[in-house]
Amino acid sequence: MAMVTSRWRCGTSGCTQAMGAGLISALALMGCTSAPSPSKQPPSSVVVPGYTLLGDYVLKPTRKVDLAFVLDDSPSMGPKRDKLAAQLPRMLNALADPNTSTLLPSLRVAILDGDLGSGGVVTEGACAPKNGSINGSIGGDEGAFQVLGGPACGMTDLAARWIQTPILSPANFSGDMGQVLACLTGGLGQSGCGYQQPLQALAVSAASSGPAYLPAFVREDADLDIILVSDQDDCSAWPNSALFGPALPAETADLRCATRGHACGGQNLPYPTTAGFTTPFSDCSARMDTTCSAGTDVSGPTSCTPLADVHTLAESVKALKPGTADDKILVTGIFGWPQSDAQLASATYKIAPVPNPAYAQKPQAPSTVYDLWPICYDQDHPPAQADPATGYDATAASFGAKPGLRLSAFIDEFGVNGLKFSMCQPDWSNAFQLVGETLDKKLRSICLDQKFEDADPTTPSLDPDCIVDYLFPKRDGLVLPACMDGLATPPCFALPGDDRDFTKTSFPRCDDNASVIPCWKIEEDKTRCPDAGHLFSIHRTPEPYTPAGARIRIQCRFCPGMASGAPVQTGCDY
């Protein structure tokens, strides 16, 4: 699985990588937002002799996260929908402040689905035009946010298109946020078009205006997390593509999307399918050749791919955070993917016959059709009652998931800010826990790359010697509240000034149990700070937000650079 290693890189010149919303919150890690500008450098009188001043780091007033779910609402998702609803509250819990266990960040949560219809190519059933579409188009749900059954789920603002926590903005729901979200996802149902296009839905939403689309949802100073949940691969294509035409009698719609969008062994898959195909999954990937232009006949094999270009779709999402997308967007997939590296190495990509459900209703239909088999199965529902003619277990397959190679390629477009989880895990709580923790760490990590002087070489652990001050804004000698998007009554503090504008509180170093707070600590963490491995954190008592303009000042004793052959300074010989 790809893991996020997002981090701040803080040194004597301050933060050299601007990323994520910083914070200082109850019993939380610090997150710097920028290095001090030359005009805002602390006066030299604050520097303690023998210590190196890292600088004053301005802290953002509060954590802000915009969380967008893109959910598969096709019939195949039925068995997995209850699992999703049961696990959503766990993910929100992972975002809560670790000291209070209840205080969430300034959080917005929106729901999209992957139903873009067929552009009118299909005239009956789930892929036919929808009369209730927002703009009267034939594009399914058009990439718009879905709040079906909002009032029954606890939404109190009937015009709202997403739910939000009561930090910086009034809450627009009543009750537990996790339960409200679970109820809203259940409202999507499982009657969406079988040609799911979650990536195109994201692109359409990102390019649309109005309160039901991503530009109105995404805040400039918030981190955006997109969570894709699907048991089939993406099938994004031109709205009126012949790809969505009448299904061939010998292959399923899912297989049609796979054979047009996947390549194995460096070769495009043949279609229409007339024979079985088996190969190591590790040999297969999403097709990345040129997308066919509008009007190209894609009913048969083409040298161009009939599906939308994954890179282009990713760029449309990154445009939501121009210039900062690599730092401000996290993309997570829960989809058809092996559950471990060992399974990834041994998994099989398989196209083979399966029983045809239409055969019982239409005797003239073939008894079997070709389909793409699941890449993984839920361990609580393993294949057991196999069809004697094909060896296929339809019940087990309904709890499994088909290879999501295009979804995987999309997630890869976001590098270390992409996470992949298998839909076949019987319990998704671990996945959601990691998503929550990743967001939390992404928001809060501050890494110090210098070599610290060990204040007590007689102990086995590193004992850094630092002076850490918290600078709280004031005016005319009075401590003022932060100006919180108009919610605080003036006078309030908005911008940092010089040291006369702050009250200063010095934090001691934490003991092993952080028994006296506030306090600071530096711990080894090569995952979040892979260079020097020094992760700096502050533990404080709970407060609902960090005041605007608050700063953290860090001064430490560091080991000087040593010329070759020079004696090593005491405390630096480790």
pLDDT band at 61 (very low <50, low <70, confident <90, very high): low
CB-based burial, 319-329: b 16+ in 10 Å, e otherwise:
ebbeeebebbb
Model pLDDT, residue 536:
82
Model pLDDT, residue 548:
59
- Cβ burial, residue 455 (10 Å; 0-12/13-18/19+): middle
Name the least confident of 168-177, 362-371, 443-452, 543-552: 543-552
- As given in the structure block, the two tokens for residue 545 are 């937000």
Model pLDDT, residue 2:
32
Name the least confident of 39-53, 368-382, 498-512, 560-574: 39-53
The Cα–Cα gap between 395 and 384 comes to 9
Report DSSP state, residue 295. T
| Residue-wise pLDDT tens digits, 277-325 | 999 999 999 998 888 887 788 877 888 888 999 999 999 999 999 887 7
Q: Count CA within 13 A, CB hemisphere, residue 235.
A: 31
Query: Residue 419 forms beta bridges with which residues?
Result: 332
Which residue type does 449 have?
A: D
End-to-end CA distance of the chain: 34
Q: What percent of the chain lies above the pLDDT cut of 70?
A: 77
Q: Where are the alpha helices (DSSP H) in 231-339?
A: 253-261, 310-318, 325-328
The Cα–Cα gap between 328 and 322 comes to 10
Cis peptide before 491 (omega within 30 of 0): yes
Q: Is the pLDDT of residue 213 over 90?
A: yes
Q: How many residues does the chain have?
A: 574
Model pLDDT, residue 40:
42
- Measured CA to CA in angstroms, residue 83 lies from 94, 401, 429 at distances of 17, 14, 10
Q: Is the pLDDT of residue 235 over 90?
A: yes
Q: Is the pLDDT of residue 221 over 50?
A: yes
Model pLDDT, residue 423:
92
Average pLDDT over residues 401-428: 92
10 or 353: which carries more pLDDT confidence? 353
Hey, what long-range contacts does 126-132 have (CB within 8 A, 24 or more apart)? Answer: 126/74, 126/75, 126/191, 126/192, 126/193, 126/194, 127/193, 127/194, 127/195, 127/244
- Cβ burial, residue 437 (10 Å; 0-12/13-18/19+): middle
Q: What percent of the chain lies above the pLDDT cut of 90?
A: 32
Nearby residues of 259 by Cβ (< 8 Å), 6 or more positions away = 251, 269, 270, 271, 273, 351
Name the least confident of 383-387, 484-488, 504-508: 484-488
Q: Count CA within 13 A, CB hemisphere, residue 462.
A: 21
Model pLDDT, residue 21:
24
Q: Is the pLDDT of residue 157 over 90?
A: yes
Q: Is the pLDDT of residue 35 over 80?
A: no
360 or 130: which carries more pLDDT confidence? 130
Q: Is the pLDDT of residue 360 over 70?
A: no
Q: Is the pLDDT of residue 243 over 50?
A: yes
Average pLDDT over residues 459-480: 76
Query: Residue 471 forms beta bridges with which residues?
Result: 504, 551
Candidates 548, 551, 546, 554; CA nearest to 58 is 551
- As given in the structure block, the two tokens for residue 128 are 């036919």
- Maximum mean pLDDT: which of 119-128, 152-161, 559-568: 152-161
Helix axes 405-412, 310-318, angle to 10 degrees: 40
- Maximum mean pLDDT: which of 182-186, 290-294, 426-430: 182-186
Name the least confident of 11-25, 154-168, 387-401: 11-25
Q: Is the pLDDT of residue 135 over 60?
A: no
Name the least confident of 144-148, 376-380, 551-555: 551-555
Look at strands 551-556 and 466-475 and give their pairing. Answer: antiparallel
The Cα–Cα gap between 195 and 241 comes to 12
42 or 508: which carries more pLDDT confidence? 508
Strands (E) in 460-508, as ranges, are 466-475, 478-479, 502-507
- As given in the structure block, the two tokens for residue 347 are 């998994």
| Residue-wise pLDDT tens digits, 5-31 | 222 223 322 222 222 222 222 222 233
53 phi and psi angles, rounded to 5 deg: -85, 115
Cα-to-chain-centroid distance, residue 355: 37
Query: Residue 155 forms beta bridges with which residues?
Result: 173
The Cα–Cα gap between 397 and 76 comes to 9
8 or 568: which carries more pLDDT confidence? 568
- As given in the structure block, the two tokens for residue 383 are 């294949």
Model pLDDT, residue 233:
96
